[in-house]
Structure 1
Amino acid sequence: MIKMLTPLLPLMLWAAAPALAQTTSAAPANVEIAMPRDSARRFFGSYQFEPNFTMRIFSENNKYYGQRVGDAERFQLFPKQANRFFLKAMPAELEFVRDAAGRYQTLVLHQGGHDMRATRTQAQPVELYDTVLHLDSLLYGAYNRRDLPALLAYFAPTLEFYHDQTGFTTYPDNARRFKENFAKPTRMRRELAPGSLEVYPIAGFGAIEIGTHRFYQTDPSQPEKLVAEPRFVHVWQLAKGRWQIVRIVSYDH
């Protein structure tokens, strides 16, 4: 996408001429600032420049990215202002603009002295994000304090767990494993890596939770140490007002 964006720009400018205007003010210098994911996620979603050009804005591993839908390549975005990002790989910037209601519904691509505007077509739902973040804290709060009944309540009886090192397991397998591990003197503690959480809806079913978590181990008379930092995917189902995990994928150990 980075390599393709520049040669495509003249065609995009010609095809979307009504949406373009000459840049009238000089952009601030490109100095990266810190931006927590909780602040940046209001920009996440899809933005359509023209019928065949939609850009997705998202985060992964505490970094921000833009990606043209349909392309494998993505480009990293670096925050420079509260609503503005720049690219290091090429001279271009993305600016997010509020509408009359105060919502960020427009994305402006600044490149080559021109502005190209895109309309938001899909946003990552904030309410769902907060719900899944809360569920995650309850799930692993039970894990950290070794509360087996509370922990198992968040897993559906049809649970399927896919692990890149231990393979495929089911609900009974994991219930037995948790019970055995909780009885050992070695204690484990899990925490969600800050800024790594991504949440996406599954229409009529529930949600997908993606992130990175860290596992710390404490042996008797020994200090706590980090032992794993894998990626994970949880598929949550909402049925009869109750959220449960039906699929887990754990990888990159």
Structure 2
Amino acid sequence: MRTQIAGILLMALLTACQSAESTSDQITPTSVPASVSGSVEFIGPPAGAVIYAEVLGLNGMAQELADQTFVVTLTGPDGNRIAQTQVRGADGSWGPVELLHGYTGEPIEVIVSAHPPDAASSGEYGRTTIILAGLSYRPEGTYGRITFPAEGDTVGGEVIPVLGIVSGTPDYRLTVTLTAEDGRVLDTRITDDGNPYHIDEMPWQADLATGGYVGPAYIEVIAENPGDAAGIEIGRVHINIEQAAG
């Protein structure tokens, strides 16, 4: 009897060992995706821009990408993919690339991300956020503002950087003028970068030379208007220019 019990226990032990070996053979280690190396920077459109066109124009910088290739994906607020395209030959500066997204709905926040073309790879090279909307949702008219300097600011130096945003100018042509208190024009700059994709809240910058002037002055921004030779004033700020330190 004892011999039979010992035999049964031995058989059970052998069966358990074989089962463990069989189970071990069937286990496949979870593959860990290699970390993504390289980076993609989106320069256009600028972060936060409002896009009403059905075609999105993209450009930027890329560094150390495998095969100099990446995929751009537009993702909506609910995580749905709106559009996708592949960019090749991205070594240093890339673009312009036109992405037909086809979105015509109300304004939504969209993530523009760059990632490896291999679906098995995880991670991103870079991302930015924009607002996407159908052209029918675009407010009418031309408008904008100067964001720097602010009304009443005191500034110094030989050059004053002027920053702002503008909407409703398809040609994106602005005349930025620095005028002294006595009406003398100190400097004028024209920004003309084009706006074929109907980008609203489009950032702009102009560097105005003071010409050594010290005292009260104002900065005026005029948007070109085909129907009015005088154009449309979209911003004016009064400042005080002081002598540069040193």
Relative to its length, the structure with more helix (as a share) is 1
**Larger-gyration structure (1/2):** 2
Q: Whose RCO is larger (CA < 8 A, sep 6+)?
A: 2
Answer whether TM exceeds 0.5 for this pair.
no
